[in-house]
Structure 1
């Protein structure tokens, strides 16, 4: 194929956007996926309207829309090339693929070939994410072990009748949370992400992942997700910051804080969750809970130490109990 006839794949980076927090939906579908109804142009427009900086296009078992997003990307919207690999015993996201690269999906857990396909994605510089582990439909429940995956989609917005949070997400979060202490203690924990799994109009960005990346590029965003420098938001109306400080040093989400035996102060600031609640979680489970004001904006401070807490992560819930935001941990050393 000569250069003039190649599909105009979206660029892997944007100009002039350095270190910062970027909002993105890592799991979206066009009409090319079964159940989808949106064109690539409609998806790109919806992403911009929802306040997103990036999306990952993840069609079911095909990458033939990769080229369609070339003209739709821009300095205000990065498009990461990917695929939802829908195997017989679970789905997973391959993010950061080469243009047109297809990952095989024709297997199940008994075939013993998963590791080979994960390795193929990583050779391309990509990220492998266990998708919707407790999805309530055949083949959607994730039957593979998390070992070998880079992250877990603990919050998936599809199949919600009214709210982008349900029992399947509650189960996925609990499972991820139970495995986090051993992972952090052993030095290898898998970050959490959230994504809409959008198929229909009005679904994109509910929820999405907010990522602290060194620049606005596919490689930098995926590196940041892999490191856990990310939190999950119900929508762009929700804002959150989490820092832990000790002995004149501080660290944020996905980072490690050497406390040197000093007491640690945990501070979370939230906006956009009226009358919500903030809860702090460590290896001992939920250790502190506080209410937000009626207007939904406020700060909560909690004191701990590395002796008491291996890590701290935060959940923010609405008054009705459904999730508004959750973070990956800050690790204390």
Structure 2
């Protein structure tokens, strides 16, 4: 068991693979509800997650309690939700007990200093719920300096996991993706529950391709965009793009060599849903899934049509079931 103030240990014996986790989680310290780190860790395991990030509001006083929840089945990443006057952001992978200052707003020109501090410690900076439906939660900072954007946040959507603020955040991120790729630095998307109440954790969560179940490996996978977002553990997704003998997965670059490309999505757990292939021009191709919820969707296209392709999987009512980061094309 880790000592107070120490980093939680990695999960031994877990090599490269896809790992499900929730990087935005609160205990009673943040919200007054009867949620302890112990209860949330148990709920994370029950939800099919193997990692979570502790992100209390402007405090790290529970870091030691969170670290004690790590075991052979659950990785705990230490973090903080930095709640400023004009938006919230997540500092993930910070040092034990280290508080990140949030006493400023967009006009104070102080946020870059805080982002640099987290980056120097090897941490990850996430723009949280950019279109949250309350004044201080609406994100007013430019994304420059942030590593990742939280496009799907579940805090306000216990009954309906996909709401208008998520649709707005996804649209904003999607509109800027082509220009960011052209400039050589695009920011991946993540999804988190922002759990404040029992039953919220894991709805949604991020599925990350990492070299191991360690904090540094998980954060590296998220930073590189090797991830997709799931509404629940019942949803499974595989997405690749190939050209000739070459193939690339989510977050990777595919050199097409001028050959036609084929995008393929294998989906489970979305009965009568839809798969849409999306480029810089929006939805380029759509496929319906069978009643069983298990199906394969394919689309053949030319790399000249777009700098990337990503997918969205929606339930029959239009609510999101899963979405991916892009495969970048050259």
TM-score by length of structure 1 reads 0.97
CA drift at 1:161: 5.0
Number of equivalenced pairs: 330
Q: Does 1:40 align with 2:34?
A: no
Secondary structure of 2:96 counterpart: coil
Counterparts of 2:154 and 2:207, CA distance in 1: 15
CA drift at 1:304: 1.1
Residue-by-residue CA offset, 1:171-198 (whole Å, 9 max, x unaligned): 0000000000101111110000000000
Residue-by-residue CA offset, 1:136-193 (whole Å, 9 max, x unaligned): 0120000000011000000000111521110000000000000001011111100000
For structure 1, the residue ranges without an aligned partner over 5 or more in a row are none
Secondary structure of 2:180 counterpart: helix
Secondary structure of 1:48 counterpart: helix
Counterparts of 1:89 and 1:107, CA distance in 2: 8
Residue-by-residue CA offset, 1:58-96 (whole Å, 9 max, x unaligned): 000001111002331112100000000000000000000
Residues 57, 81 of structure 2: 8 Å contact kept: yes
Q: Does 1:11 align with 2:8?
A: yes
Q: Does 1:206 align with 2:200?
A: no
Task: Find the partner of 1:72 among 56, 69, 74.
Answer: 69
For structure 2, the residue ranges without an aligned partner over 5 or more in a row are none
Q: Which runs of 4+ in 1 moved over 3 A?
A: none
Partner of 2:225: 228
Residues 56, 79 of structure 1: 8 Å contact kept: yes
Counterparts of 1:170 and 1:14, CA distance in 2: 35
TM-score by length of structure 2 reads 0.98
Task: Find the partner of 1:244 among 231, 241, 244.
Answer: 241
Partner of 1:128: 125
CA drift at 1:305: 2.0
Residues 2, 68 of structure 2: 8 Å contact kept: no
Counterparts of 1:31 and 1:175, CA distance in 2: 32
CA drift at 1:6: 4.8
Task: Find the partner of 1:319 among 313, 316, 319.
Answer: 316
Task: Find the partner of 2:108 among 100, 108, 111.
Answer: 111
Secondary structure of 1:259 counterpart: coil
Counterparts of 2:155 and 2:309, CA distance in 1: 28
CA drift at 1:10: 4.7
Counterparts of 1:286 and 1:35, CA distance in 2: 42
Secondary structure of 1:33 counterpart: helix
